[in-house]
Every structure is written in structure tokens, then in C-alpha cells.
Structure 1
Amino acid sequence: MGAAALLLYPDPEHYNPPSLGLKPFPSSQYMPSDAIRHDSLIWNGLGDPQTPGYAATSYAHRLPLQSLHLPSIPVQPISFENALQILSRLDGSKAPKAWNNGSNTTYNLGPGFRNDGNSNITLHLKISNQLVNKTIYNVIGSIRGRVEPDRYVIVGNHRDAWFNGAIDSAAGTAAFLELSRVFGDLLTDGWRPRRSIIFCSWGAEEFNLIGSTEWIEENMKILHGRAIAYINSDIVVIGNGSLSVAASPLLYHTIFNASKEVPNPNEEEGAKTVYDKWLISYPLMRNSSGMISVKRNAFDSSFDVDNDLFNANQHFAGEPNESGSLLQTYMESAALQTRPKVRQLDMRSSYAPFFTVAGIPALDITYTNVNDIKSDANQINSMSNPLLHTKYDTFEVIDKFIDPQFKYHKAVTQVLGEIIRDIADSLFIPFNLLDYAQVLKDLYITLHIHTESILANNGIKIELLDSAIKNFTSAAIRFHLNQDKIDFTDPMAIRRVNDQLMLIERTFLDPNGLPRNMMKRHIILSPSETDPPYDEMFPGLMDEFSILLHQTGNSNVKSWTWDVIRAHFSIIVSTIQSAAQAISDVI
């Protein structure tokens, strides 16, 4: 296009909407016009772009810079205040109405500047950026487990920030350090977890998740057979309304239990616990027709599970429940028709490579203002607090507007502590496979509703996917049934069950990744590569349908895309079937 440079500015419509009529910081949390927002232009979750898929060690082979798709022109963030001076002087056709920036100034699209009697305007850009390699550091500490020291519960936080970074991520660092102190004190008092806990302070997260990604790549082969879960402590508090969680389905049960143990930090509200407020703020109401189900005697005469449990609409009572059955507890939990909504994992923090590349269950929790993500409950982004990544992300913002008594920071840290303790110290790894079965069914229902006829017309039998998910559901129930019957005095039997639970997330990895991104190997949970046309669907299929919707008149693209859809559909079916076999009885 012949562009000489790219200038990025924060649009007031997103960061300080004029319709609200609010004064900017320091009178509110909204962005002043002189604020400059900084981000890494490269943000694909692949870490160091010169060593894709491999650790960026001192001895690593690095791709030459000219082979990378790096920007070839300067890219510079500026404030809206400065941007307006440029926009108001542009010549050419009028900007679309939808591009209105919330100011009273209308502007054109260029090229060039208007001649209003002044001399010709020339824009000069001077930058001081240098493209150099720098050494970054991860700081790692650990508590050795007493029974299974080779099984790791990983806790992480990034300590780097743009400017002051009070919210992102000094607050997360404070929670992380407090957790390490508390578990260290417990260790001094004689307590030691069943499994090892690894504390990781990541460097260079703001530069494309380099710290956590390169650590994953360096330790992939070890982590494959030892990592249980990853717990992230990043933007832990961005508001004072409710907990908001993004997580792998395997961690739902633990998160729900942990949030029930922590009192609601706002004592004036009717909700007694963090869970109760979360449920009120972000309820997920599910239709009973879309719930997983199992018929009595589905396998053999010894398999006798009351299918009425799937009609239960009550809170689970703990682990195990009053009947002593772990299976019944998990079934009741998975069958709740109203429970807190859990967001889909994205690529926005250090947890991304854990689940997309390594297949390690991950979670991220944040206390947020309820209205921040009400309209889009699948995402917490920079606009949840307009001051993030600017010089105004300071302690004053937290102290004045968000959490002056730090009681919400305390609550989040307590929830994180309960999650870590539960995963690290429970006899069985507390993964409810039925939550995963329900997520798979939810994804199938979305696919069925939107694409059943078009899939059938193109030779794809959607019932094969339905069958694979039913097989996984049946295998999950039988797995937990056998878990109830295990001999607790047999350490090898316990180890076998825990190994199957630990490895189940890895079965959803495909070495070739998504069709549009081979580095995203988790074909169930990886975020879509495109602007998704539907709410929730298998990401690889979502990408291809998005392309089809935008290429309806291009027969060549259409034919090639359907070939990709057929191939990826078969991989999804095969992967889910393999996951069912992975939790079946060991021969």
C-alpha cells in the first residue's frame, strides 16, 4: 500500500466513551486523552519468533530476521490527543460513520492533508527502537512433594509490565509472592503436599509470552509426563463485582469447590461466598435436553448407575458426597442446570502455551466489575480497565477506585491457594471427566444447530462425532465408577488412576495443530484463528466456516476449504475416540 509508518492510538469510544459523560483519570478509571497505550505488535503466543517450537537458549539455532514476517515499517503508539491533530487535517473522502471516534471532529481518510491556507503539512516520525536480542530470566522455586514428587502443580505470574503496571501485573505478583510465602510457612510447620508445587516468575510476558513459552519448549518432554495443572496469577483484580474464571473443563470442579470456601469480600451483599456471588453475576443456565446422559446398564450388568442423577438440580456437597460416592458427586456437579459461567481460555497471558502447546490444564481467575464482561462473557480484555498498558496503571487506581482495602485481592489469593492445595494434596487428582464430556456435547450441539445440513450435503456424517462424544461420556462414567471401587491401600492402583487423569488433556492434542495454525495443537480448547461466526464450536471447524462465509463466490477457495473441513472433522472424531480409550480400563 506504500505506507511509510503505522500510528496506533486508543479510540475514546472504547477507552472513554463520550456517551458516559465521565471525566477521565484521576476523576475516574477512564483514559485521559494524553494516554499512550503500549502493546507488543507480535502477539501470536509463539514466544521468540526466531525459535518457533524450540527453546530460545544461548545455543539455539535462530531463524534469520529477513525470513520472519516482522513489520517492515515503523509502528508507533500515540495518544488520541496527538492522533486528533492528524485526523482533523486529513484530506480525501469522508471516514465511514462507524469509524466515529467519539469526538466532535469529523475526519477524512486521506491520502494527504487539506490545504487550509497553510503551507503543506509533512508528518515526521522519529523513533529510537532497536531490534536486538536480550537475555530474559524466569525465576523458579519449588516445594518437593512427599509422595509423588515427580508430579507437578505449576503456579505462575509474569513480573514484567508496561510502565508502572500496578494492575498488570504487580497485583498478580503480590498474590503470587503471598502464595509462595504461605506455602513456605506451611512447609516450615511440618506440612508437605503430596505432589510438588513449582512457582514460576515469568519474564517478558508482554513481549509475546516469551518467558512461559520458552520454558514450556525447553521442558516439554519432562512436563508431558509430570505436569498436572497450571494456575495463573496475572490480572487478579480489575474490579470489585465478581469472580471471573477461564479454565480447562478438568478444573471446573476444583474451582467451584475452592470458591465456596472463601467468604464474599463484600459483606453487605446477600451472597455469602465468592461462589455465590459468581453464580449470581454470571449464571450459566443449561437446557436439560442438552445435558449429557447415561442409560442404566449401558455397559454390563455390573454397571448400574441411577440415571435420575442427571436430573438432579442441586449443589454438590463435597468430595465425595454424603453417599461416599465420588462418581455421584461428579455426576451431580456436571448435571447442575445453573452454575457459574467459565470463560474460554484465550491467548492473552502466560497460560496460553500450557494448554495450546503442552496440553496441560490451565486456569486464570480475575475479580472484575460485572458489567465489564456482561456483553461478552468469553473475554476479559484491555478495555476492562482502560488504563492498562499506560503510564496511568498505578497504585492510585487500585487504592482509589478498585480495592482500597485490598479485600478482593485477598479473596482471589485465597481462592488460588485453595485450588493449589486441592490439586497438590488430594489423594486423587480432582478432575471431573464429566465436565469435559459436557463441554464436548455443548460444542457438538452448536455444530449441529448451525451446520448439520451443510455438512451432510458435503459428505460429512455428523453422527460420527455424536457417537465419539457418547463413547467418551460412557468411558468417563465408568472410569469414575471404578475409581470408587479402588483399593486405597494399593499405591500403584492410585498412581494408575492419577496418571490417566493427568494425561487426559494431552489426548486432545494433534501434532499438526489447527488447520490455520499448526502451533495451536489443542483441537478442542485452542482459540479460533478467525473472527468466529458462532458462539462456541470446535476451533478448527470454526475457522473454516468463517472463511466459507466470507468466500461464498470463490469456487476454488470453497472446494479447498471443504477438503480441509472433511480432514479436520475426521481428526476431531478420532481424537475424542482416542481420549475415550485413554480413560478406559487398562489391559
Structure 2
Amino acid sequence: MAGPINQARVKISKIFNGEPQSYTRFNLDQNNDGESSHVEVKLSGDGEEEMDSAEAGRHHATSTYTQRPLRTYKNICYGALVILIFFLAGYLIGYVTHGKSVASKLPCTTVQPEGPTDEGEMVHPPEPTLDWSDITSMLQQQLSSAAFYQQLGNFAIDEHEAGSPGDEGLGNKVLNIFKSLEMTPWTDEHYVQLQVPSRGNPNKVLFDSEEIGQPTGYLAYSATGTTAGKVIYANFGQMEDLKYLQEVKINLNQSVALIRTGKISLAEKVANAAKFGAAAVLIYPDSRENDVDRSTELYGHVHFGTGDPYTPGFPSFNHTQFPPAKSSGLPGILAQTITADMALKIHKKLGGKAAPENFKGNLRGLAKYNLGGENGLVNVTVNNVQTDTKIHNVFGVIKGFVDPDRYVVIGAQRDSFGKGFAKSTVGTCLLVELAKAITQMKKDGFTPRRSIVFASWSAGDYGTVGATEWLEGYLASLDKKAFTYISLDGAVSGAGAFRASASPLLYSLLKETMNEVIDPTNKVLTLFQKFAGSNFETILEPMKMEDGAYPFLTFSGIPSISFRFVSDGIPSDYKFYGTALDNKENLDIATKGRLGDFCVLAAQVAGQMALRLVHDHLLKLDVTSYTRLIRKHVATIHKRVYELKLASTMSSPLTSQWLTTAVGSYSRAADSLMNDIQNSDLEDKEMCRSINDRIMRVEHNLLSPYVSPRDVPFRHIIFGTGEFTVSALTDHLRDLKENVSGTNADFLRNQFALTTWTIQGCANDLAGDVWALDNEV
């Protein structure tokens, strides 16, 4: 029967396609009659007679093939009849034999990439076949407390400051592990400018010519030199603290601000003090009794930004032509850390007004807090020096089978000013253990659709330098390919609470993950039930500039998340960051002896989020979450516009109509996408890729296109910093109503326009192709 079926198939091909279009057999024959050689192409028509090559050479020496005569209408009819007969016969035979032989279903774990066929056919990637419950179970089986304790011992060293031999040694360890796992590892070199203390010329602090001390701790990127001024106690250095001093007639101009740690970053404390005219800032560790030894030195940086501040907006590769530029986030005033003992000496000498209750700290031996500003001068000398330093980022990748050019990035800081056990060692161990676990899962049958990139960053303690330089180097491609960043920095620093900072696109995924991970101490409660109860909002906090995920979200527009297990109580911050006391012993105490268990939990949270993002057909990113957030901000703007109208402080009326319309456009686009998702065919790879691309662009489209990433790196209109943000627009409305000096009605209108069109542009891209847009703007 095979012969007639083949003949019928050939007839179908010729009816719809004419002559065959692909030629698969070639004969190179030399003409024996002395004529020039020729190539004869034989058409592969199964079951048909072939023309003899020698006969073809004599009759058609200059032709490559002979066209057959056209079929007549009669032949077409015969062909159609033959097709119908054999179709019916084949259907009956298939129906009869189907009940006799049922193919057995292969187990999920045996799915492997198909090899090439003998005929050279295209190899199709294998479809992921494991259920989600199988994947979470496989991940859980690969993670253990014992493995983490062993890895923590392997990576814990006393000195691994950025660019040091210790940092490079740890980087090589990570690289070798990635090599052993066959993760196609690579390294990324950057030549950055770091600031370190001078070896022969120490920093000094004097009070009325009496030396308070020569601290070995320091703040990188401080201005250098010597200055003197009256010392004023400014609490945490928050804006409200400095405004209070202004209200009680204490002038910070050309003073030395004495500030305690906590609440905000060191860089923000210095930036705030500079805005109020301070000449220098002294920062000391302020902790509960017995938390920190009074002689403990404090380290950190005061660049109000991320990355190498001397190559703002572009990467510090070796071939970069460095212009004479520097970040606007570098402070213009001196900044220095001092110990609690040194701070106590200064506090005891302070006079002036008594500090309010909320200014009172935790210094042992201090009975009364005064604000100062009336007696004595503090002299501050900072002799830090800049040094060109080579740093290495280390990468490995687990490639996807369907969309390998789309990837989630999991990263951890590797360096530290001191031991940095909670700051960097734990995160590095989480990184390599997750890489090991998911590599083994892939060997056992897990087939991710998309890729996972594992990144070990250097110079994180100087302001996320390594990660930011990588983002700057590959900015043009990362926003089109990287769809999420998961930070492992500081993931475990306590045992009583859970905190997360994230893009709203990741809220639903985080909540779902916390509802799936079980608390090992209870065996019944999920992480969500234990730490969030019934209110998800209680675990969320704003993403700060010192967060390792911050530049991914606000500079590159990549949905990002960082999370951490912390101590319960207020404050929940780990007190040993930036000190030599950030060691295993203190972290064991903070985690109540269950450090390994919390490492497993942190790995499960990060791992399950990453696996979900690379496993599902469609990205688990909730675009409707931004609808709620943007509407919340716009509601505040509406209120301020109404208040401004009542105040009658503008010469012409202001309306928020077009901003409201843009928010409506985004809402409709998000709802339309959700409808497309519900009605999509998940087996249609092109459709899934198209939908995923629309989802991926949302975060990037919330970066303002109207400012330069070199001048304003954190361009996100919701989470960024600068005059283009929604919060800046809201503040400007308030200031204009109150006739605050420096307000500008024309600039306000410009802010309105740029905010409106940033949101509208995001909505247009989310809606799909330009010919599918349907809005009134």
C-alpha cells in the first residue's frame, strides 16, 4: 500500500505547490561526449520515475533540470479521487488499530533534549513537563542546613575588601564552582576609583585642641581636608531632625553635625546635613546596651548614588576614555565615623538646649543629651586617598530551552569592609548553593523555559559598584532580556520577622511564594501566615538606595526584589553591619542558633521565585499592581491641585485631566493584557513570547525618557530620585500653594506634562502594536 500512498502524497504536493521547491539529491556527472560538464538536480518525488542522467545530458546539456508537462484537469480529478480513497482507508485502519496499542506515558524525569535526526531536521526544544509541585519538591530536597554550614565555613574570611587578594580569592572560588557545574562561567573586569584611608596620614578629630581620637574606620568618598566648627547634635540626620533644629533657632551653617546611625543611610545623613549648610559630619554607632562595643570602628560610604562616582552613567571598562567627570551625589563636605567612646566624650562637652525625648540615644554613661552649638570647636581632618582598583564580577548561567535569551538574574555581594558575615558571606553561600541545586534539578529532568544568570558582585560596600558598572556596560540589551533581579544581600540577619522591598510587579509572586514555603519550626504554618498574618502590606518596605536591587529597578528598569529575615522588635536592623563584629558568632545569636535553617528558607524563597519565572509559559509579573499604585499617587496629586486652586496662588488654572486620562489608558492596557493572557494558547510560543515582551517593558517604560541616565541615573518616576518623579511633583504642588521660595509655576506644568506622557507611553507599549492602540490622548 505504501506505493499508492506515496503517489497520492506527490499529487497533493503538486496540486497546491506546483513542482517541489526543495532539492535534496544532486548528481555531478561528467559528459562523456566531450561536452561541457553540467549539474543535474533530481527532484525527490517519492514513487516517481527519474530521468536517466546520461539521456538528460545528451538532450539538455545546458539545463539544470527538466520541467515536467502540466497536468490536465482529468489527471487532477483522478488524483483527488485516489486521495479520498486512501484517506478513508487510512482512517479506518487507524481507528481499528488504535484500541490495540496505547502508547505508554514516559515519566517526567526522562525528558531530554532531542538529538539531531539523520535527515538533518530542525531540533525542537523539549517542552517543560514537570508539575510545579514536583519542582518545589525537587528544590526542597536539594537544600539542607548541613550544606549551608559547610559552605559558610568555606567562604568566611576576615579580610575581603573590594579588589583585595581576599576578594579575588573568593571570586575564584565562585568561578571554580560554576566551572564544576558546567555553567559556562565568565568574569567581568572593571577598573574603578575607590577611596581608602591614607596609610601615613590618619584622619583626626579634636575638640578644643584636645584629640578625641584617630579613628581607623572611615567613610569612603568623603571630601578631604580640614575644617572646624561648633558641634551640633542632629539625632539621626533625617530631614525632620534638621528642620526641628531650624525651628528652635539652632543654625547648622558651617557647623559640625554629630549624628547617630539608624533610620537612613550614611550617605543620606551627609547629604541632608550638607543641604542645611554643615561643614562636616561625624557619625557614630548607636546601639542598645551591650550590642556594640564602645570602641568598635564603623565603615561605610557617603556617595549618594551607586557605581563608580568618577564614571557616572558609563562603565569603568579598561578601554573607556575617562572624562573629567564625577557624580553629583559626591558630598562637598567632610564626613568621618567615630566610635561610641569618642562620641561620648563630645556629648559630655555639649551645652545648649536640652534635646527632645526622641533625640535621646543609647550611649552608656550619658545622663543628659544637649543640642550644642554654643561652646567649643570641633576640628575634623579627613585624609582619604583615591586609588585605581581592578574588580571582578563572576557569572554563571543555567540556560533555558525555549527562550534562552530571556533571563532572571540572581546576585550577591562578595566583598566587605570587614568580616561581613551577614552582609556578604551568607548571600554568596546562598548564590552557590542555589546554583548547585538548580543545576542538579536540570540533570534530574527540570527543563526551564528561560535562563537563570548567577552573579557574584564586587565593591558592593562602596555603593553597589560592581553591579552598577555591569548595568551601565550592558544597558542597551539588559532591559530587553533581563526580566527580574533577585538580590541575596543581607538575606539573613535575624529570626523574628520578614521584610521585603520590591517592584509592585513582583508582589503577587512574593505572596504566592510565601504561601508555599513552610516554616520548619511549625511544619504547618507558611511563611506568609507566620510573618504577615492576613496583611501582606506589613512585610513591605520602600527600597532604599543602599539596597543591592535599587540600581536594577531605578537605573535599568528591571523588576527587582530584595528580602531579609530580621530580628523582631523596633528597630529590626542588624547592628553589626559595617563593623568588625559582623561575624558568625553574632549572627548565630541573632538567628537564635538556627542560621542554617534560615539559610534554607531564604534559598527557598529566592529559588522558588526564580524557578516560577523561568518555568511558566507566561511571566509571573502582575501588571495590574501598578494601576493601583499609580492611581494612589494621582489621587494625592488631585488633592494638591484642588488645594492649590483654593489658595489662588497661580495666575492661570491648573488641571490634572490629562494625567487622569493617561492613568486610565494604563488601566485599560493592563486589563486588555490580562484578557489576552486568559484567552491565549499557551502552546503558541510566538504568542507567549509576544505577551511576555509586553510585560517586560512595563518597568523600563516607567523610567523617564526626558532625562539623561548620566545626569539623573535613577530615572524611575515612582521609585527614583529627582525633579521628574511623582513625589517631586506632589511636593512642588504643596510648596507652590504655600508660596515657598524657589517654586516655579511653569516648571510645575512641565513636570505635569512629562509625568503624563511617561505614563501614557508605558500604557501605549503595554497595549501592544501601534495599529492596535485605541485611546483618546
Higher mean C-alpha displacement, 351-360 vs 540-549: 540-549
Instruction: Establish whether residue 575 from structure 1 lines up as the match of residue 764 from structure 2.
Output: no
Is 1:277 equivalent to 2:530 in the alignment?
yes
1:60-86 CA-to-partner distances (Å, cap 9, x unmatched) read 232437997856775431102012223
Secondary structure of the 1:366 match is: strand
Gaps of 5+ in 2: 1-224, 230-254, 264-283, 772-777
**1:282–1:366 distance in 2 versus 1, CA, 3 Å:** farther
User: Is 1:388 equivalent to 2:577 in the alignment?
Assistant: yes
Deviations 1:52-107 (A, max 9, x none): 110011122324379978567754311020122234346x7557556555521555
Residue in 1 that maps onto 2:557 = 359
Structure 2 match to 1:476: 670
Question: Match for 1:44 among 292, 305, 308?
Answer: 305
Distance verdict in 2 for CA 1:446–1:144, change over 3 Å: same
Deviation (angstroms), 1:37 = 2.1
Once residues 495 and 393 of structure 1 are traced to their aligned partners in structure 2, the CA distance between those partners, rounded to angstroms, is: 45
- Equivalent position SS for 1:261: coil
Q: How far, CA to CA, are the matches of 1:501 and 1:480 in structure 2?
A: 10
CA shift for structure 1 position 245? 1.2
How many residues matched? 492
Gapped regions of structure 1 (runs ≥ 5): 25-29, 115-121, 285-339, 374-382, 531-536
The equivalent residue for 2:654 is 460
Out of 450, 454, 477, the residue aligned to residue 195 of structure 1 is 450
Question: Partners of 1:262 and 1:166 in 2: how far apart?
Answer: 25
Asked whether the equivalents of residues 486 and 562 of structure 2 are also in contact (C-alpha less than 8 Å), the reply is yes
How far the C-alpha of 1:546 sits from its partner, in A, is 7.0
- For the residues of structure 1 that align with 2:662 and 2:590, how far apart are their CA atoms? 49
Match of 1:563 in 2: 746
Counterpart of 1:367 in 2: which secondary structure?
strand
2:353 corresponds to 1:85: no
2:488 counterpart of 1:233: yes
Aligned match for 2:421, one of 166, 185, 204: 166
Q: Identify the residue that residue 519 of structure 2 maps to in structure 1.
A: 264
Which has the larger displacement, 102-111 or 392-401? 102-111
One-letter amino acid matched to 1:412: A
Using the alignment, how far apart are the partners of 1:198 and 1:88 within structure 2?
Answer: 53
* Range moving further from structure 2, 6-15 or 510-519: 6-15
Tell me the distance in 2 between the aligned counterparts of 1:213 and 1:77: 25
Q: What is the distance in 2 between the residues matched to 1:144 and 1:42? A: 36
Aligned partner of 2:613 in structure 1 is 423
* Residue equivalent to 1:309: none
* Alignment map for 1:93-492 (pairs within 5 Å): 93-94=352-353, 96-97=355-356, 100-102=360-362, 103-105=366-368, 109=372, 113=376, 129-267=384-522, 272-280=525-533, 283-284=536-537, 341-372=539-570, 384-406=573-595, 407-454=597-644, 458=650, 459-492=653-686
Distance 1:461 1:32, change over 3 A: same
**Aligned partners of 1:157 and 1:202 also within 8 Å:** yes
2:765 pairs with 1:541: no
What is the alpha-carbon distance in structure 1 between the residues aligned to residue 418 and residue 630 of structure 2?
41
**Other-structure match for 1:300:** none
Return closer, same or farther for 1:412/1:452 CA change in 2, 3 Å cut-off.
farther
Counterparts in 2 of 1:575 and 1:65: CA distance versus 1, 3 Å: closer
Matches within 5 A, 1:48-59: 48-59=308-319
Residues in 1 aligned to 2:581 and 2:560: alpha-carbon distance in whole angstroms:
30
C-alpha displacement at 1:360, in angstroms?
A: 0.7
Deviations 1:152-207 (A, max 9, x none): 11111111122111211222222222211111222333433111111111111111
Is the CA contact 2:301–2:462 (under 8 Å) kept in the aligned structure 1? yes
SS of 1:137's equivalent? Answer: strand
Structure number with larger C-alpha Rg = 2
Ranked by relative contact order (alpha carbons within 8 Å, sequence separation 6 or more), the top structure is 1
**Which SS does the other structure have where 1:443 is aligned?**
helix
Label 1:565 to 1:368 Cα distance change in 2 as closer, same or farther (>3 A). farther
CA root-mean-square deviation:
3.4
Q: TM-score, normalised by structure 2?
A: 0.58
Write the deviation string for residues 382-425 of structure 1: whole angstroms up to 9, x where unpaired. x7122211111111112123241222222121011100001112
Which structure features the higher share of strand residues? Answer: 2
User: Do the aligned partners of 2:413 and 2:456 also contact (CA within 8 Å) in 1?
Assistant: yes
Give the alignment partner of residue 526 of structure 1, picking from 716, 720, 735.
Answer: 720
Give the secondary-structure state (helix, strand or coil) at the position aligned to 2:525: coil
Tell whether the 8 Å contact from 1:437 to 1:469 is kept in structure 2 after alignment. Answer: yes
Match of 2:455, SS state, is: strand
Q: 1:341 to 1:9 in 2, by over 3 A?
A: same
